[in-house]
Chains A and B, each alone.
Chain A
Amino acid sequence: MPVLNIKKFSFTYPGVDHPSLKDINLPIKRHKITALIGPSGCGKSTLLRSMNRIHDLYPGNKYEGKIEFTDTDKNISDILDIKKENEFIELRQKIGMIFQKPTPFPMSIFDNVAYGLKISGVKNKTELADRVEIALKGSALWREVHDRLDKSAMGLSGGQQQRLCIARAVAVKPEVLLFDEPTSALDPISTGAIEELIVELKKDVSIAIVTHNMQQASRISDYTAFMYLGDLVEYNKTENIFLNPQEKKTEDYITGRFG
């Protein structure tokens, strides 16, 4: 049973006639990494941002179809049914997101990681400290920052900031993490560290990642979905997509003929 199951999903931005995503069917499998690839404007980020309904910060979007979410207790719910504020909050605590650019909050390193915990009601100081430490260790940042937790997060390097954001997302123990081109603003060494970390994380969470970088998709993902102009062209195990694509378009894209 996939953790997220996207069925007949269409999405239309406000003020636009044509849907940006058309009739998408895609599973996000548990404890696997699913990569979404495709040329710019293919709708891969739009799809990712539908999974935690972050689109809803801006009114007027139209959803059709279903995105079924199966939590660890096997309860199934449709993410697109959510209307109330508290349900959104719950959803976003279960499905975390990492953005293209690092987004450290204007506060200390510790407070950044503790932020999600604090707003979800964790008050106990030792519990906070423990979970911050676990999250920072889990994102391979602890060794670098443990002696300056009270310093501003703005002072970290880009790669460190991005790992901090991952630690912040991991700290609330989500079931799914959505990565929206998490390394596109980073240098190759930081990118390597983040990729390693993402692979490490799939023990605990299920992962969907949007990437521009086909090598990255082939290096880290278990499944790959190729999207083009709002359609899901092909979805398969990553090695099949890259070694034996079924669709002409997929082949053209991964061999670099366009995109």
Chain B
Amino acid sequence: MEKIFQKLALSSASLVFILLVGIFITLYITAKPAIDEFGFNFITNSDWNKDVALESAPTTELTDSDDAMILDEDDIMLEDEDDMMLDDEDDISTKTIYGGLVPIVGTLLTTLIALAFSLPIAMGIAVFLAEIAPKNISNVVGVAIELLAAIPSIIFGMWGLYYFAPIIADLFGGYQVSLLTAGLVLGVMILPFMAAITRDSMNTTPAVLKESAYALGATKFEVIKDIIFPYSKVGIIGSIILALGRALGETMAVAFLIGSIFVLPSKITDPTISIPVAMANNFGEASGLGESALFYLALILFIISFAIISIAKFYFLKRAN
């Protein structure tokens, strides 16, 4: 019985390992056709689902033989079928290419905007909760913030599209769906999460350390700046990176607002697309190389967020403990 129980526990734990490796391998295999086709140029190419003419030089034998076949047929074909022939030739001499630059840029920029917007406010909230507010207010506001962090992200998206974006578009011009509005709504969404975990980090500062700074005649600002921030620095940075990871992979809050078009934005108020949104909105229709390209994007997103979370966990948060 003891043995069985232990085996069960061990297999469940190993499942985590298997799942994570499984996700990675599955994404790689499904992305393989796109990886083979586009290689690393995928990352720098901004065209998505675009038909381009095949260049003669690198074309494969298949195309050559096709051409040869057409020529063969040409000999026996009647003149009035020439038109159809041209169409055929058109199809054969183009291919569809997929590049991931637009969603990659869109993901990074929305995350950047979200962070720029939410970071100062989240720090302010964390300082307020940890150091300024009286205990009872801090508790109530703290729970409110944590509850807001639990609200499903799709709600943020809907609110953003119908209530927030029109105001931003009025203020800054441009489209209601844009990098800017998507980034800001994403920022509002990660705000409670970031504030809550930053507060937790700040609360690890021992009271006696703060007291001894006050005992030297330091002001509250000086205690926060010279004692609390340096003391909880690694934890705070870790928290910010975790929030960043969350913003990178967020789908629904962004999906409503980014516009979902594969065009590089020239201004911050232009619509574009991010990796999760590209997946959410195109997976249904995609097949073949297009679907594989989406998996390629998923793989890129997975690797980026894996790397970022690993840095946060192993470097910053471990050191904080």
Q: Give me the interface of A with B, judged by CB distance under 8 Å.
A: 52, 54, 57, 59, 85, 88-93, 96-101, 103, 105-107, 115-116, 119-120, 165, 168-169, 172
Contacts and interface: CB of A to CB of B under 8 A. Distances in A.
Interface in B190-226: 206, 208-219, 222, 226
Given A91-B217, A101-B208, 5 more contacts: A89-B218, A99-B211, A105-B231, A106-B231, A115-B216
A165 B214 CA distance: 13
Interface residues of B, number: 20
B208 A169 contact: no
B247 to A, nearest CB: 29
A92 B219 contact: no
16 contacts: A57-B214, A91-B217, A92-B216, A93-B216, A93-B217, A96-B215, A98-B212, A99-B212, A103-B209, A105-B226, A105-B227, A106-B227, A107-B230, A119-B216, A119-B218, A169-B216
Nearest to A107: B230
Given A107-B226, A107-B230, A115-B226, A165 B212 contact: yes
B288 interface: no
B217 A90 contact: yes
Which of B134, B216, B218, B230 has the most C-beta atoms of chain A within 10 angstroms of its own C-beta?
B216
Closest 10 A-B residue pairs measured CB to CB? A97-B215, A106-B230, A103-B212, A93-B217, A92-B217, A116-B216, A89-B217, A106-B231, A103-B209, A99-B208
A136 to B, nearest CB: 16
B216 A59 contact: no
A194 B104 CA distance: 61
A91 B59 CA distance: 84
Given A105-B226, A107-B226, A168 B210 contact: no
A92 B134 CA distance: 22
Main secondary structure of the interface of B (DSSP, over half): helix
Contacts of B233: 106
Nearest to A57: B214
Contacts of A103: 206, 208-209, 211-212
A88 B219 CA distance: 9
A52 B216 contact: no
A172 B226 contact: no
A92 B226 contact: no
B289 to A, nearest CB: 54
A169 B215 CA distance: 9
B260 to A, nearest CB: 46
Interface string B270-313: 00000000000000000000000000000000000000000000
Nearest to A91: B217
A155 to B, nearest CB: 15
Interface in B6-24: none
A233 to B, nearest CB: 28
Interface in B161-180: none
A81 to B, nearest CB: 18
A54 B215 contact: yes
Contact of B230 (A89, A97, A105): A105
Contacts of B214: 54, 57, 92
Given A105-B230, A106-B230, A97 B212 contact: yes
Contacts of A107: 226, 230
B230 A172 contact: no
Contact of B215 (A52, A101, A119, A120): A52
Contact of A96 (B134, B216, B226): B216
Contacts of B230: 105-107
A172 B208 CA distance: 19
Given A103-B208, A106-B227, A168 B219 contact: no
Contacts of A97: 211-212, 215
A85 B217 CA distance: 10
A132 to B, nearest CB: 14
A105 B215 contact: no
Contacts of A88: 217
Given A59-B134, A105-B227, A172 B217 contact: yes
Nearest to A14: B135
Nearest to A100: B208
Contacts of A120: 217
Which of B209, B211, B215, B233 has the most C-beta atoms of chain A within 10 angstroms of its own C-beta?
B215
A96 B219 CA distance: 15
B129 to A, nearest CB: 16
